[in-house]
Amino acid sequence: MSAKSANFAFTAALLVLTARCPLPAFADGPLTNTPAKSKFPCDPAAAQYTAYHISTPIKVDGLLDEPCWKAAPRSPRFVDIITGQPAMHETRAALLWDDKNLYVAYWVEEPNVAATYTKHNSPIYNNNDVEIFIAGRDTYYEFEINALNTVYEAFFIWQDAYESGGYSQVPEFKRSNPAVKKFNGVGFTAHPRGPRLGSWAWRFPGLQTAVHVDGTLNDKTDKDRGWTVELAFPWEGMKWLAKADDRALPPKDGDVWRIDLSRFNQYKAPPPAKDSGGWFWSPHGVWDSHIPECFPYIHFSTNDVASLPPAAK
């Protein structure tokens, strides 16, 4: 297919998706043929993905050997967060769901799998890690995990909704809690919505995590193939993400969430590559993970992933 034909096909598919699944309220305006200049550093169209339903619960063991993961559509290869250029090693992700959980999988190519942090909420971003951000209208949740299955998590609330949304009454979100701090982004500090509060006291209820290393962890004398990550986020634990717009938990057929998936490394490809060390499903244009308007659009389908024709997998 020529580049011109590919662009036309992509645009047509995007318009169909948008017509079937209206964009969430916090998106940066509707998509048009001649969109106004975005207030954000990324492409406002972002990435589109369909998460399919499953009928049999997944055993969260990190192996990703269930038939449903083999059938699930995988993301494109992750690209640099700033430039959008292909990353040095391959990273892909997939999402599935049932009435109890959102399931997330990562396939991470890594010649030398390494990790050091073992305590919850240690700064594992100083290791190599993979991350997921799940956005509500007035909030978003940050999750990180390293190859030792150590988790870092935080919950963010836009300050303009903090009082009116009832968040100020929750002990884990109270300003008096020492683990609650003001936050204004990382690289994009002039967000149109203003500042936010971050809570490092909140824990995702019922979260399940597992990692499998295909190689030898923390051994530089051999070459590894990489590692895989398997996660289960219970829908019941997302009530503070869903509260502002009363979105359904679990989702209804056709519901759309903004969910970002990424990978950070403590190494970079050598020049002339412009490798920031942050590799994403959908690039942000700046060094900042905390821009919900740049997250991929995840469309939830009640169709069972096992029923997909081979061409759709």
**Of 20-29, 56-65, 187-196, which range is least confident?**
20-29
- In this model, does residue 38 exceed pLDDT 90? no
**Pairwise CA distance, residues 32 & 70, whole Å:** 35
Compute the half-sphere exposure of residue 216: CA atoms within 13 Å on the CB side of its CA.
5
Residue 232 has pLDDT above 80, yes or no: yes
- Per the rule left: phi > 0, alpha: psi between -120 and 50, beta: everything else, 261 is beta
Looking at residue 141, its pLDDT comes to: 98
DSSP alpha helix (H) spans, 42-97: 67-71
CA distances (Å), origin 35, targets 29, 39, 50, 122, 187: 9, 11, 24, 42, 24
For residue 44 the two structure tokens come to: 């406002």
Q: Mean pLDDT throughout 49-61? A: 97
Q: How far apart are CA 157 and CA 173, in angstroms?
A: 9
Average pLDDT, the chain: 90
pLDDT tier for residue 36 given thresholds of 50, 70 and 90:
low
> Residue 311 has what pLDDT?
54
